[in-house]
Structure 1
Amino acid sequence: MNKENVTYFPSIDNIKVAADTIKKVSAVTPLSPSLRYSNHFNANVLLKREDLQQVRSYKIRGAYNKISSLTPEQSKKGVVCASAGNHAQGVALSCKLLEIEGTIYMPAPTPNQKVEQVKMFGGDFIEIKLVGDTFDDANHAAMQECDQLHKTFIHPFNDEKVIEGQATIGLEILEQSTEPIDYVFIAVGGGGLAAGLSTVFKQLSPNTKIIGVEPEGAPSMSVSIKNNRNTELDQIEKFVDGAAVKRVGDLTFSICKENLHDMITVPEGKACQTILELYNKDAIVVEPAGALSISALDLYTEEIKGKNVVCVVSGSNNDITRTSEIKERALLYANLKHYFIVKFPQRAGALKEFVVDILGENDDITYFQYAKKTNRENGSAVVGIQLKTADDLEPLISKMKEHNFYGDYLNDKPDLFQFLV
């Protein structure tokens, strides 16, 4: 059934029923003032801390509300989902609490840490099946099982009960806020959270502007709203895995295109900067998708001055093994990390000359790899250099060219960069 032209909007009554249903499992998360961001943006910035849920994301709300709504016959047959992230944990815990058997399909390369988390939350009530190399492979297998065994598929976002469960965050924000809210910034992946929350504000606080935020490499909702039809992207950057989908839900699209004040995108590197800032300055751990809403504030600096602003911190399931990549992306975004092909004269002292005469006092070599051994006059190496400030780049390149060390600059050549670094 094509739902692209549906007119479903969750009712406040149904959202209140969802709030009553999920209170058994979902915490009323804090709406915490952020002194640092408030001072920086000259606004009253509040963080809705969904990262503090038991499963460390808001996904428990929609999953539990959906699975709770099943008929006895549906419950007996069991449920199926496909996810390598937060949705899997929400479904797993819901199955355990409701004593319903669930099968969770995950791609075979899923990190063991994520698999173990899902096992922990689901216990004996879930079975994990690692299938295929990608999410699409796992999702296809999950749908096959549903068709063959007549089980209920628990969609991560394109489902009325899921949307209504996520919408309860909107009710909580309005109950917790002592003043009218001018802006709410919210991460958008498939759109379930944005669809639900925006509907609450549309009906109960219509002057509040809801700003949807996507990663720059996966702008599926932005493109769909621009095209005025749900549009599947050919390729996406999957780094912000909690908010990177090729196609948003038909239900969520129809709601978001009517309710959202704006859809904006944030570079993945900017989200990485926010992750590091929150950890180092506020002792808050967030995943890349959880950093999107805060990362977007820079794009609304003038509009939010003197305003009451809420950023939904959607989750904190960040894999520690990604820390080095997060740091790298943050430095690249800040123009502090640069990669070059450097031509070294094949003579003694050439490397020392490069370090002493070419590099600035605060420059640091963080990567060094000869491209190939050579007997020619010059030998090339790929060199990564971290600068103190972005302004140090031009003087560095000038000195490299002046002393005939400069071969090429790799940061703005993504294909070559991926191949060599």
Structure 2
Amino acid sequence: MNKEKNTYFPSIDNIKVAADTIKKVSAVTPLSPSLRYSNFFKANIFFKREDLQQVRSYKIRGAYNKISSLKDVQAKKGVVCASAGNHAQGVALSCKLLKIKGTIYMPAPTPKQKVEQVKMFGEDFIEVKLIGDTFDDAYYEALQECEALHKIFIHPFNDEKVIEGQATIGLEILEQATTPIDYVFIPVGGGGLAAGLSTVFKALSPNTKIIGVEPEGAPSMLLSIKNNKNTELNDIEKFVDGAAVKRVGDLTFPICKALLHDMVTVPEGKVCQTILELYNKDAIVVEPAGALSIAALDFYAEDIKGANVVCVISGSNNDFTRAAEIKERALLYANLKHYFIVIFPQRSGALKQFVVDILGPNDDITHFRYTKNTNRENGTAVVGVELKHPKDLEPLIARMKRDKFYGDYLNNKPELFQFLV
């Protein structure tokens, strides 16, 4: 296994113990064939449906395995975690089932729906504290409480028992598969799932290639592997919140570096396309991190032809209020949504001319904000246009320039574009 000196690698025996421990709370989720994706990629595609867990993500596995391992004296003091999502729900349910008091720190801007879910799973056994504006703020306060009151911090990924709990997904996949598996695609955030699952396959199915998938805006594991050391990112795109971390685990990094076959990144817009496709065509609801493994298939299309492929759908805790943003990002990625500064002559009929003579027959205005300038010949508007086909963009711009409506194109100006999306 090429173990590095003093590097922790989970043992298969400990992972089997974890599997026995969590069977009280964790469902054996289906390994379901996907006819649509199999036909499209000319491969045998299976989904490991961790979105069907009681807390709608695999995080219950690691959280329960860790908390149930505490000694009585530790359990009596209570546990603490920091999370704005799935880990919080896993810890909350574990606390209730094990009758252990827990404090869960969440950033103050956390959507109310997520806070209510955590309270529902934990009931009277947990207290939610909304602290600070970011996860880092909540994380710092959680560690302060642990230090002051000698409580145990339940880390979302950088913990041996958590890694072993997540690794049980690998055991289940191998038990459920009826043919040898060639590829497993998994989302990577802090690396707990990737470290655990890759260990299982290295020991029990060494020919299987494990592909880690990160969002393009938060490639912390990919960068760390390239640098050959755990490297913290200065800034990340937080949209894929379940897999967007600045720094992966010190325990998980060396395991992933040694055992993952490849790390790939997926643009956030591609993730949004996948979310919409799964919902509209397969009636599967996934969160952004849950779509990562499936979204990566396009980037491996030639490699996986004829292969047996498993994609781990890690969770389905998607906030409905994000639906408009998901659609917008998907359209932008598909090159179907475009924003312009349009110059309108301040005369009657200018807008009608733009609609009739400039827009194509299938183009649709989806955003319009006009500023009338007094005592000037022209006024400007920020206009969003949705196209039927990407090839319609260049003719649209040509017509705008021909009739002197063209002011500027905003999609490639991130400093301005951030105010629109």
TM-score (normalised: structure 1): 0.98
Q: List gaps (5 residues or longer) in structure 1.
A: none
Deviations 1:376-407 (A, max 9, x none): 11111000000001010000000000010000
Name the structure 2 match of 1:247: 247
Deviations 1:271-306 (A, max 9, x none): 000000000000000000000000000000000000
Q: CA deviation at 1:371?
A: 4.3
For 2:144, the aligned partner's letter is Q
Paired with 2:244 and 2:141, the residues of 1 have a C-alpha distance of 20
* Cα deviation digits, residues 149-190 of structure 1 (max 9, x gap): 000000000000000000000000000000000000000000
SS at 2:342 equivalent: strand
How far 1:372 moved relative to its partner?
5.4
The residue that corresponds to 2:68 in the other structure is: 68
Cα pair distance change 1:133/1:368, threshold 3 Å: same
Q: Could you give the per-residue CA deviations for residues 192-222 of structure 1, whole angstroms, max 9, x where no partner exists? A: 0000000000010000000000000000000
Distance in 2 of aligned mates of 1:10 and 1:396:
57
Q: 1:142 & 1:5 partners in 2: Cα distance?
A: 32
Q: In structure 1, the residue corresponding to 2:418 is in which secondary structure?
A: helix
Q: Equivalent residue of 1:250, what SS?
A: coil
TM superposition shift of 1:418: 1.8
Matched, 1:350 2:343: no
CA distance in structure 2 between the partners assigned to 1:221 and 1:214 by the alignment: 8
The question of 1:118 aligning with 2:118 is answered yes
Contact 1:5 1:254 in 2 (8 A): no
Partner of 1:282: 282
Displacement of 1:416 in angstroms is 1.3
What is the deviation of 1:72? 0.4
1:75-154 equivalences in 2 (<5 Å): 75-154=75-154
CA RMSD of aligned residues (A): 1.0
Name the residue aligned to 1:232. Answer: 232
Distance between the aligned counterparts of 1:241 and 1:260, measured in 2? Answer: 22
Aligned identity (percent) is 84
Letter in 2 for 1:204: L
Hey, what does 2:271 align to over in structure 1?
Answer: 271
Aligned equivalents of 2:53, 2:420: Cα separation in 1: 41
Which portions of structure 1, spanning 4 or more consecutive aligned residues, are displaced by more than 2 angstroms? 371-375
Aligned partner of 2:110: which letter? T
Partners of 2:280 and 2:390 lie apart in 1 by 21
Q: Secondary structure at the match of 2:354?
A: helix
- 1:13 aligns with 13
Counterpart Cα distance in 2 of 1:91 and 1:5: 32
Asked if 1:165 is matched to 2:161, the reply is: no
For 1:365, what is the secondary structure of its paired residue?
A: strand
Kindly provide the amino acid, as one letter, of the partner of residue 208 in structure 1.
T
CA distance in 2, matches of 1:304, 1:346: 57
Matched letter for residue 196 of structure 2: G
Contact 1:185–1:310 (Cα < 8 Å) also in 2: yes
Correspondence for 1:329: 329
What amino acid maps onto 1:410 in structure 2?
L
Contact 1:343/1:380 (<8 A) preserved: yes
Aligned equivalent of 1:389:
389
In the aligned structure 2, how far is the partner of 1:261 from the partner of 1:120?
39
Find the aligned partners of 2:84 and 2:419 in 1 and give their Cα distance. Answer: 27
Match of 2:57 in 1: 57
In structure 2, distance between residues paired with 1:369 and 1:6: 60
TM-score (norm 2): 0.98
3-state secondary structure, aligned to 1:351: helix
The Cα shift of 1:122 comes to: 0.1
Unaligned segments of structure 2, at least 5 residues: none
Q: CA, structure 1 residues 301+407, in 2 after alignment: closer, same or farther (shift >3 Å)? A: same
Change (3 A) 1:6 1:415: farther
Question: For 1:6 and 1:123, how far apart are their aligned partners in 2?
Answer: 41
Q: In the alignment, does 2:36 pair up with 1:36? A: yes
Alignment correspondent of 1:408: 408
Instruction: String of CA shifts for 1:99-131, please: whole Å, max 9, x gaps.
Output: 000000001111110000000000000000000
Secondary structure at the residue paired with 1:338? strand
2:156 maps to a residue whose letter is: P
Q: d(CA) in 1 for partners of 2:372 and 2:233? A: 38
CA apart distance, 1:373: 3.4
> Structure 2 CA distance, aligned partners of 1:420 and 1:228?
38
Check whether the contact 1:6–1:254 (CA below 8 A) recurs between aligned residues.
no
Aligned residues: 418
- 8 A contact 1:6–1:251 mirrored in 2: no
CA distance in 2, matches of 1:334, 1:97: 45
Which residue type is aligned with residue 276 of structure 1? L
Identify if the C-alpha distance between structure 1 residues 414 and 5 changes in structure 2 by more than 3 Å, giving closer, same or farther. farther
1:363 alignment counterpart: 363
Paired residues of 1:382 and 1:420 also in contact (CA < 8 A) = no
Distance 2:126 2:113 in 1: 17
Partner of 1:299: 299
Task: Indicate conservation of the 8 Å contact 1:217/1:238, yes or no.
Answer: yes
* Whole-angstrom distance in 2 between the partners of 1:108 and 1:56: 22
2:24 corresponds to which residue?
24
User: Amino acid of the residue matched to residue 114 of structure 2?
Assistant: K
Superposed CA offset, 1:319-342 (max 9, x none): 000000000000000000000000
2:235 counterpart SS class = coil
| Offset, 1:370 | 1.7
| Secondary structure in 1 matching 2:251 | helix
Which whole-Å CA distance do the structure 1 matches of 2:375 and 2:215 have between them? Answer: 46
Over 3 Å counting, the alpha-carbon distance change for 1:199 and 1:364 in structure 2 is same
